[in-house]
Amino acid sequence: MAAPKRLDKYELLSKGIFVQKMTSPERIQALIDRLRPVTTRRSLIRIGAASDGGYLIPDDLQGISVCFSPGVGPIAAFEMDLERRFGIGSHLSDYSVEAPPNGFSPLSFQKKFIGAFESDQFTTMDHWMDAQATEGDLLLQMDIEGGEYPAILALSERNLKRFRIIVAEFHHVEHWSDPAFFDIVEAVFTKLLAHHHAVHIHPNNHGGEVNMGGIEAPRVFEIAFLRRDRSPPTGFQKTFPHSLDRPCDPNRPELVLPKSWYARAEKVAGRVSDDVEIQPGPGQIFDNIYRRGLWGHDAAGNGTSGYGSHEARIIEPYVAGLRRLLKELGCSKIADLGCGDFNIGRQIAPHCSEYIACDVSEVILTRNRAAYRADNVKFVKLNLAADELPHAELATVRQVLQHLSNAEVKSFTGRLNTSKPYKYMLVTEHVPHGDFQSNADHITGNDIRIGTGSGVVLHEAPFNLVHKARKVLLEVEADTHGRKAVVRSTLYIF
């Protein structure tokens, strides 16, 4: 009897059969670990129906201007409840229906699917959001039957960061076993987790379960995210289902989230452990920002200090203005309180007899020390909120305080008022254009106060910087977070 003929995968492909080695279970579990929901200072609330169309989201809705809701279908229970209880209207988009559900009047409706390109049937999140010209923080509720993957990949970081809260339904989990598809899945969640925490997961019991090489998973699940600047993680969610969870299909048993999605003992992303609540200090926070490139990357793939330290139209007027100021004031000893990646400092240091470049991140200081050496430059690790301030004639604080909490900024100004280590201080902050509420509190991190319509003003309460005089040296338009904004440099004279 002849041995059976072995067919390679290309011969099988010619017969209409595709063979592919599945994604390793270890790789799938690693992503699940990254998605492990954390607890925050914001409790969870339920909005919408008691079944499909209802979601758990963080109780952090005050100040959200509107909701964008792609994927309408025949119901809008979430959007209706959101408007009734919180006064937040919604923009709706769905090609599969002709109009919004009866009884609901959204802010707008467009007959379009949300995807990665523009056509008669499709549009992108960016095109849709920009057309609405909304301001402030937003909420995203997305249920688009698998279209979430390309739609999120196509969404710009600029608009992604405007969503304070995201709740989305993710489909086709069984296809995570395909390595090519899993590459896309990893990219989507890496993008989301760069600026948001996962705070809740609920399986959709209509989809059932799948086992991928020993990894149990719901085929469809709802997941809620909270933007990182709103609260640090305080622990891990440990109880599933949540007391407010309800079966999506009330005629089927509830589908319980597998324990491997939330009950593993390892640390996840260095944030918190099972038994110890960790509030990372500023050094850890900003080390993580640079390691992950949350403000951008250079050509070598290293994290940078962002466009505010690299975009020519912003930095060139600043560098020229600071050089003139040094001559006018006769200052040559500078303390740079927040030197970042030193892209600006390297252009100022040659004009100084002594340049003290300070930062709280040892990651960026180590890189700076290796890349820039000069006799008049010294790199120093410094926590503005806690450490003794270095003495100099002029201090520069460029787009640093906007990332810190009010308690940290107040500690900084309190020590300035007491020790008076400088004759002059040039403070640069990204603030809303025109009148705005100054000094709204903020959680230390990569984001800034503009998302809530605020900005740092040191001479106003609660910081109350004591000074003899001040003047605005420079303003450059730099719109962000959907708001008109300026990068403003103010000289304080002591």
Where do the structural domains in the chain lie, given as residue ranges? Answer: 17-277, 307-493
Q: Tell me how far apart the alpha carbons of residues 3 and 6 are, in angstroms, rounded to a whole number.
A: 9
Largest CA distance in the chain: 101
CATH C-level class of 307-493: alpha beta
What's the Cα-to-Cα distance from 154 to each of 160, 193, 248, 267, 297, rounded to whole Å?
A: 10, 16, 28, 31, 19
In the numeric block, which tokens belong to residue 162? 């405007």
pLDDT number for residue 7? 62
In the numeric block, which tokens belong to residue 136? 């402030």
Task: Kindly report the backbone phi and psi dihedral angles of residue 386, in degrees, each rounded to the nearest multiple of 5, phi listed first.
Answer: -135, -30
From the list 226, 246, 254, the residue with the least C-alpha distance to 49 is: 246
DSSP 288: H
From the list 326, 272, 251, the residue with the least C-alpha distance to 37 is: 272
Helix axes 179-193, 25-34, angle to 10 degrees: 20
DSSP 145: T
Q: Tell me how far apart the alpha carbons of residues 12 and 21 are, in angstroms, rounded to a whole number.
A: 14
pLDDT number for residue 264? 59
Task: Kindly report the backbone phi and psi dihedral angles of residue 408, in degrees, each rounded to the nearest multiple of 5, phi listed first.
Answer: -70, -40
How many beta carbons lie within 10 A of that of residue 417, not counting itself?
Answer: 14
pLDDT number for residue 170? 97
Residue type, 220: V
pLDDT tens for the chain, residues 1 to 494: 566 666 677 777 777 877 778 899 999 998 999 999 999 888 999 999 888 889 999 999 998 999 999 998 777 889 999 999 999 999 999 999 999 987 789 999 999 999 999 999 999 999 999 999 888 899 999 999 999 999 999 999 899 999 999 999 999 999 999 999 999 999 999 999 988 999 999 999 988 999 999 999 999 999 999 998 888 888 889 899 999 999 999 999 999 999 999 875 444 444 443 333 345 678 888 998 999 888 999 999 999 999 999 999 999 999 999 999 999 999 999 999 999 999 999 999 999 999 999 999 999 999 999 999 999 999 999 999 889 999 999 999 999 999 998 989 999 999 999 999 999 999 999 999 999 999 998 878 888 898 778 999 999 999 999 999 999 999 999 988 678 999 999 999 99
Q: Sign of the CA dihedral 270, 276, 281, 285?
A: positive
Contact 220, 207 (CB under 8 A): yes
Residue type, 452: T
For Cα atoms 225, 227, 229, give the angle at the middle one, nearest 5 degrees.
150
Residues in the chain: 494
Q: Tell me how far apart the alpha carbons of residues 313 and 158 are, in angstroms, rounded to a whole number.
A: 18
